[in-house]
């Protein structure tokens, strides 16, 4: 395994535009280190989801490249990417009547030979993660019968198992969350963010999440990356990024910053 503090994923001079349209991303570069929990923030249309789809390998940049542990992402097969990357969108459809434990165990597919039996250690780890995300009580329940928030926690459990398997296999795991907390209530969102930060730090994984809730980003992120009009507007520790000038220039709002670095949104500019 790489030594602590190694780069897990890097974006180098990423540019992207749909044919003939204005660029959605221009010269975006950043590096995520093992153990980081990064929040990507920015107003609507700033390029957040486009950047995520490029990081996950769903889109190819018009210029620039993504490096995954030193290897160019575009050169890796979908299976190789799945061994390192897990992507959770805002909402995941459930079209087949699998029970929730079966859904979580699907995370093992990239890491095990086809048709190999599920081991006791795999079941134990899946159970541990489902307890930590609060969905173990749904283990035998049809996922199609869950609420949106409950289903989303099952999908996050699956993503965590996928990342845990990557780390156990000697590779760094990267979890990409595209507004994946939006269906959760406040208490569940807090618990989930605590869990993700703890898992990232302890297991030398990387969590990168898009968040519209800026207080969530402030409280739980080790770093904030802000996009504005397709470019990086700021990057750093949350209390260094979230300034009155930042809120005015990026989000067009007036904010009051407390002595402790927390903030209160007052009004639009």
CATH of the domain at 119: 3.40.50.300
Which tens digits make up the pLDDT trace of 236-253? 999 999 999 999 999 999
Same domain for 232 and 260, yes or no, is: no
Instruction: Please report whether residue 2 resides in a domain.
Output: no
The three-state secondary structure class of 9 is strand
Which tens digits make up the pLDDT trace of 190-232? 999 999 888 887 777 899 999 999 999 999 999 999 999 999 9
How many domains, in total, are found in the chain?
Answer: 2
CA distance 13 to 25: 9
Instruction: Give the pTM.
Output: 0.90
Instruction: Please report whether residue 1 resides in a domain.
Output: no
Same domain for 268 and 211, yes or no, is: no
Same domain for 47 and 85, yes or no, is: yes
Which tens digits make up the pLDDT trace of 62-114? 999 999 988 999 999 999 998 889 999 888 888 889 999 999 999 998 888 77
Instruction: Please report whether residue 228 resides in a domain.
Output: yes
CA distance 146 to 179: 19
CA distance 188 to 202: 21
């Amino acid at each position: 395994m790489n030594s602590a503090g190694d780069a897990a994923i890097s974006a180098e001079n990423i540019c992207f535009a749909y044919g003939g349209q204005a660029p959605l991303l221009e010269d975006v570069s950043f590096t995520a280190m093992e153990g980081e929990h990064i929040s990507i923030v920015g107003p609507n249309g700033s390029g957040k989801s486009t950047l995520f789809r490029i990081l996950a390998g769903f889109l190819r940049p018009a210029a620039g490249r993504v490096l995954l542990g030193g290897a160019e992402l575009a050169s890796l097969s979908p299976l190789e990417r799945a061994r390192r990357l897990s992507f959770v969108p805002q909402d995941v459809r459930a079209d087949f009547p699998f029970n929730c434990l079966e859904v979580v165990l699907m995370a093992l597919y990239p890491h095990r030979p086809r048709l190999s039996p599920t081991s006791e250690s795999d079941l134990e780890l899946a159970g541990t993660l489902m307890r930590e995300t609060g969905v173990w009580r749904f283990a035998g329940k049809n996922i199609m019968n869950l609420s949106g928030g409950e289903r989303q926690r099952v999908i996050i459990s699956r993503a965590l198992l996928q990342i845990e398997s990557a780390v156990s296999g000697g590779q760094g795991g990267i979890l990409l969350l595209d507004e994946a907390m939006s269906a959760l209530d406040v208490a569940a969102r807090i618990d989930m963010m605590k869990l993700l930060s703890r898992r990232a730090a302890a297991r030398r994984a990387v969590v990168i999440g898009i968040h519209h809730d800026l207080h969530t980003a402030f409280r739980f992120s080790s770093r904030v990356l802000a996009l504005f009009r397709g470019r990086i507007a700021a990057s750093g520790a949350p209390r260094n990024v979230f300034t009155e000038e930042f809120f005015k220039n990026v989000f067009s709002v007036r904010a009051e910053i407390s002595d402790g670095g927390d903030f209160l949104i007052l009004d639009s500019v």
